[in-house]
Amino acid sequence: MEPSQNAQDSAWYALKVFYSKARTVQEDFRKQGYDTYLPVMIEEHFEAGELRYVEKPLVASLLFVHCPEQYLLDYKRTHDTHMLYYADLITKRPGHIPDREMKIFRIATSVASTDPDAMYLGSDTARLCTGDRVRVTDGLYKGAEGYVKRIRHARKVLVAIQGVAVVALSNIHPQYLQKIEEPSSFPA
């Protein structure tokens, strides 16, 4: 399995990794020169009178890889017990994740990973309703785009990779949310 010399052949793919093999699979792709992203969060643990910080997966068993489709298919054939890829529902081939969608998801998950209580969106305002598409214009989540959704009586901004994962962002001041005037395709 040789890495592709043509970066244009590469795309982002989501993998479901089994049996705590995420770091192993991630390292396999990195050794071949491919970018990977494992969304993680930092948890505080107080044990034996000592505070420790432990890195844990933000979404269990989820790993993203940026590689050519053929490399992914070859890897799957030789490492079938380690992982599966999220497939396109029509073609049944590995589902490509657009670079822009992946960039936004990485922004959202990297900031959310340090804020496990990030649930509060802000006070209700008439200008934003459930289902509205929004862009974050400033703050920690600047550049993220998603949809407004009510969860546990509070409004969140949902950032999604279609068919793979959704992250709910909170603690975003309403002044930093800009409504994007596009028809909403996200379920309310």
CATH number of the domain residue 132 falls in: 2.30.30.30
Say if residue 115 is in the same domain as residue 185: yes
Say if residue 114 is in the same domain as residue 138: yes
Tens digit of each residue's pLDDT (9 = 90 or more) over 57-87: 777 789 999 999 999 999 999 998 889 999 9
* Reported pTM: 0.65
C-alpha to C-alpha distances, 168 to 108, 113, 155, nearest whole angstrom = 9, 11, 9
Say if residue 72 is in the same domain as residue 17: yes
Say if residue 93 is in the same domain as residue 109: no
Asked, for residue 79, whether it belongs to a domain, the answer is yes
Is residue 173 helix, strand or coil?
coil
Say if residue 31 is in the same domain as residue 91: yes
Say if residue 133 is in the same domain as residue 111: yes
pLDDT for res 10: 95
**Distance in angstroms (rounded) separating the CA atoms of residues 96 and 114:** 28
Is residue 41 over pLDDT 80?
A: no
* CATH (domain of 84): 3.30.70.940
E strand spans, the chain: 10-17, 35-37, 40-47, 50-57, 62-68, 83-85, 133-136, 145-151, 154-161, 165-169, 177-179
**Distance in angstroms (rounded) separating the CA atoms of residues 81 and 18:** 7
Say if residue 93 is in the same domain as residue 135: no
Is residue 148 over pLDDT 60?
A: yes
Asked, for residue 3, whether it belongs to a domain, the answer is no
CB distance 86 to 163 below 8 Å: yes
Say if residue 134 is in the same domain as residue 170: yes
Total of domains in the chain: 2
Q: How confident is the model at residue 93 (pLDDT cuts 50, 70, 90)?
A: very high
Asked, for residue 52, whether it belongs to a domain, the answer is yes
**CA diameter of the chain:** 55
Say if residue 124 is in the same domain as residue 70: no
Say if residue 93 is in the same domain as residue 17: yes
**Distance in angstroms (rounded) separating the CA atoms of residues 78 and 22:** 16
Structural domain span for residue 25: 9-97
Say if residue 55 is in the same domain as residue 110: no
